[in-house]
Structure 1
Amino acid sequence: MSRLFGSVRSRATLGATLVVAVALVAAGTALLLSLRANLTGEAGTRAERSAQAVASELAARTPLDKLSGLDAEDTPVQIVDEDGVLLAASEDLERISGTGTSEVTPAPAPSDGDDRDDPDDRDDDSLDPGEIAPGASYTNGTATIDGDTEDYRFAAVEVETPDRGRLTVHAGAPLAAEHSAVGTALTAMLIGFPLLLGVVAAVTWLVTGRALRPVEGIRREMAAITASEDLRRRVPEPATHDEVARLARTTNATLAALEASVERQRAFVADASHELRSPIASLRTQLEVAAAHPELLDLDGAVEDTVRLQNLAADLLLLARLDTGERPAGTRVDLAALAREAAAGREGVTVEAEPVEVSGSRGQLSRVLANLLDNAERHAREQITVTVRREGGAAVVGVADDGEGVAEADRERIFERFVRLDAARSRDDGGAGLGLAIARDVAVRHGGTLTAGAAPAGGALFELRLPLAGADRGTPRA
């Protein structure tokens, strides 16, 4: 059961059915109450008309035994005085309730010596002789006439008679039509509502199934992709413009990103293995030769290979940390001071810098400048210029050399990992092609950019742009 209602299709069907059921019950209840109120009101109106007719005859001094309203077959009538004594009742009336008195047999007529209402003893709100009180009061009850018992709506009308004082006329109208109509409507609802709910459930089940069919296709394809580990596959995209189509497109975009990431990882591992193999093989050869012939040990070469291996391992570790999304620290770093530190001890490097602070990792930003200067030293003829300046809301660090420069077609490719141009390879002193890739990744992690262009002197110009630290976003310092 829990599995059945654990699906979206089942929950949607159940939810729609419940909502419609609640709406139908509420609407049906309101309809029945309205129908009952209207029919009861009509019965009350008929009862009031009957009571008013009898009251009119009483106001005209019609004797009780001559009243025309007492012989109606379906209208029970009672006439009582102010003391609640029954003076007259309908013919064949056997039992009655709901009128204030259950008597059906009139009391004996009073003798001439009995007390009559004295007009001087009337209350201030009494009616004038022959006047009928406006309006009526209503009650529900039952009456048995000639052996038949039914429910009635009773209306009570007061009349001030000239000879008998104030009398109250109770007249009833049957509620059989109201009961019949309400019963018929209720029966129709009890039969129709379940059928309607069944139709709603079936339609909702079919419509939801059709709407979720693409989702099931996506699920099956994702399960197949997971089982096969083939990220080249894609989920089917519906030819619609709804949420399911957007889900499919987003899923395919995610699969494409995963495929690209896996391919980058594979290429990275392959290139890293290739780059590590050379220094390790060279170092192993030197150690084996030294083990057999100690006098032939090339100590400087072994140290050089060890340093190269150490630097490569450090580069790979930093790239791995950057790939995991590691965020730099929020330390304030003065790029001018950092540029001077990076240029210290390097020949032919000129620094032109104004104090500019950014927020980030001092160690990573120092690594960027060192990598840019290392790259410039490998290609420069004589001169390298480092500039640090403000430009709008950004700090700009430029590293320019007077070498041959970078062809426009290669200005993006040089930032790829393990990429070294032919010219660079001919003069490479052991670099693995990771310096510029690391520099760009660090720049991106700091919310900035790193681009390659042409220097005024004809060589290459690398520009690092980083957002200024919060305190430095205003007017530049002098």
Structure 2
Amino acid sequence: MRRLWPTTVRARATVGASLVVAAALAVASFALLRLLEADLLRNAERDARQQAVTVAGLAASGQLDRMRAPLDGVDFVQVVNARGRVLRATPNLTGVPPLAPVRPVRPGTALHTWRIRPLGGEHRLRVVELTTDTPQGIVTVFVGTSLRDVDAADDTTAAALAVGGPLLLATVALVTWRVTGRALAPVEAIRAEVAEITDRDLHRRVPVPPTRDEVARLALTMNATLDRLESSGIRHRRFIADASHELRSPVTVLRTQLEVALAVRDPELWPELIGGALEDVERLQHLCADLLLLARLDAAQPMASTRLDLGAVVRDVVGTRSGDRVPVRQRPAEGVWVEGGELWLARVVTNLLDNAQRFADRRVELVLRSTADGRGGRTAVLEVLDDGPGVPAEDRERIFERFTRLDDSRSRDHGGAGLGLAIARDLAAHHGGTLTAEEAPVGARLVLRLPSPGPPTP
């Protein structure tokens, strides 16, 4: 059955609609035939019952000899006594024995539908059998009416349904096929366009139909996805180029220092040359660690998450920074709880402080507080401020891009590769928070906001 079932949406829709219409037609046709037959049968029975009552009244009054020709719609009349003797009958039943061999013993009315041929026909008859008391005893009156019109109407209706049903079914299948084909044409155009897009053609977009239906929304969603893929590809290529450049510079310097050390024969100069080489090796090590961390963040690898006191994390980070050029003044609030990984949050604080230390003149300040978020919850807010040159308003988003330096020569002298703030923002996003550069009276002001679910339950 699975192999026989259509595989395309268009064919499945057509077959499904056809099956539903076919079932509905079958039920409706059966009901129509039954209702039509019941109505015609009721009309025929009414005439026969009226004739039977009339003849039974004549028999009860002893006036059967006054019986006249039957009413319109009545085919025959036969009156039989309790001994089975025919007392009266219409001319078309002359010489015909009693229609029912068993005689009733008490008055009453019975209805029968017989297929008999007292009139030489093949049609059915509806017979009303009415038994009544007379001065001569019990008499039974048989009045029959032909169901020729009922059978003819049934046959005509059945033939019309047999011809019209398949035509209607074929029309439904054709219309469904055409309508679904026209509805799915934009989907096929989208599929064909997407099939031709390669990693070098991410600038292409799928056609958006003028309708405002689900297909149009699908096309818009697909184009938005292609926008993200194109942006991701651009960032990936830029990242590779910047990483190659950043790795090439220390590698080149390291090779030069090693070549000089190899060429110099004076052992007194070797410690200085080796010390410079070790500094470049350390720079390479930090850069490779940052690149590895960014790769893990881009892959959205899961991290262990626990309920943490952010104030304790801040104090631990500041406590290990005894060799900072500018002492850090901290004002951490107590009981500011967040959900996340302790190592990652410590890395965010470290990167923010490293950035402030590179550009600060005489002041680096760290402020931690908890504020209401306007939705009944709390938000942990961590601010790192310095009195350096600050960040221009037009560059407050660009500083979070990878390998971005506003002052390239100065940042390189201070050992920055332009990855610290990018890593901090990615880690903040992984914790459901944000990291932004905001207006400050003097210097730079970086603000980290994280959801604060409250203290852990005991």
* Shared fold, TM over 0.5: yes
Q: Does 1:342 align with 2:317?
A: yes
Partner deviation per Cα, 1:412-447 (whole Å, 9 max, x = no partner): 111111000127736732211000111111111111
Report matched runs for 1:440-451 at 5 Å: 440-451=425-436
1:461 corresponds to: 445
Q: Secondary structure at the match of 2:144?
A: strand
Contact persistence 2:73–2:146 (CA under 8 A): no
User: Matched residues in 2 for 1:320 and 1:94: separation?
Assistant: 109
Kept in 1, the 8 Å contact 2:58–2:66? The answer is no
Residues 1:417 and 2:406 are matched in the alignment: no
- Alignment correspondent of 1:118: none
CA apart distance, 1:335: 1.9
1:45 counterpart = 2:46: yes
User: What is the match of residue 254 of structure 2?
Assistant: 283
Change (3 A) 1:335 1:174: same
- Aligned position for 2:79: 79
1:130-154 CA deviation, whole Å, 9 max, x = no partner? Answer: xxx6xx4211003323543431001
How has the CA–CA distance of structure 1 residues 274 and 78 changed in structure 2, closer, same or farther, with 3 Å as cutoff? same
Could you say what secondary structure the match of 2:6 adopts?
helix
Report if aligned partners of 2:73, 2:145 keep a CA contact under 8 Å in 1: no
Change (3 A) 1:94 1:312: farther
Secondary structure at the aligned position of 1:150 is classed as coil
Alignment of 1:167-178 (within 5 A): 167-178=139-150
Partner of 1:217: 189
Displacement of 1:212 in angstroms is 1.1
RMSD of aligned alpha carbons: 2.8
SS at 1:77's partner residue?
strand
Rg larger for = 1
TM-score normalised by structure 1 residue count: 0.85
Report 1:356-435 matches (<5 A): 356-392=336-372, 393-422=378-407, 425=410, 428-435=413-420
SS state of the match for residue 210, structure 2? coil
1:299 aligns with 2:299: no
1:145 aligns with 2:125: no
Between Structure 1 and Structure 2, how many residues are aligned?
441
Unpaired segments ≥5 residues, structure 2: 373-377
**For structure 1, which segment, 426-435 or 263-272, has the greater mean C-alpha deviation from structure 2 after superposition?**
426-435
Letter of the aligned partner of 1:167 in structure 2?
Answer: V
| Cα separation, partners in 2 of 1:160 and 1:367, compared to 1, 3 Å | same
Per the TM alignment, residue 318 of structure 1 is displaced from its structure 2 partner at its CA by: 0.9
CA distance in 2, matches of 1:98, 1:249: 85
Aligned counterparts of 1:177 and 1:466: Cα–Cα separation in 2: 86
1:311 aligns with 2:286: yes
The answer on whether the counterparts of 1:35 and 1:182 sit within 8 Å (CA) in structure 2 is yes
1:109 matched to which residue of 2?
none
Correspondent of 1:325 among 295, 300, 315: 300
Pick closer, same or farther for the CA change 1:423–1:149 going to 2, 3 Å.
Answer: closer
Alignment of 1:12-91 (within 5 A): 12-63=13-64, 67-68=67-68, 75-82=75-82, 87-91=87-91
Q: Show the counterpart of 2:205.
A: 234
SS in 2 for 1:341: helix
What amino acid is aligned across from residue 49 of structure 1 in structure 2?
Q
Which residue number in structure 2 is paired with residue 156 of structure 1? Answer: 129
Aligned to 1:193: 165
> Quick one: distance in 1 between partners of 2:418 and 2:411?
13
- Once the two structures are TM-superposed, the CA of residue 97 in structure 1 deviates from its matched residue by 11
Corresponding residue number in structure 2 for 1:111: none
Unpaired segments of 5 or more residues in structure 1? Answer: 104-122, 128-132, 474-478
Change (3 A) 1:84 1:286: farther
Q: Report the TM-score when normalising by structure 2.
A: 0.88
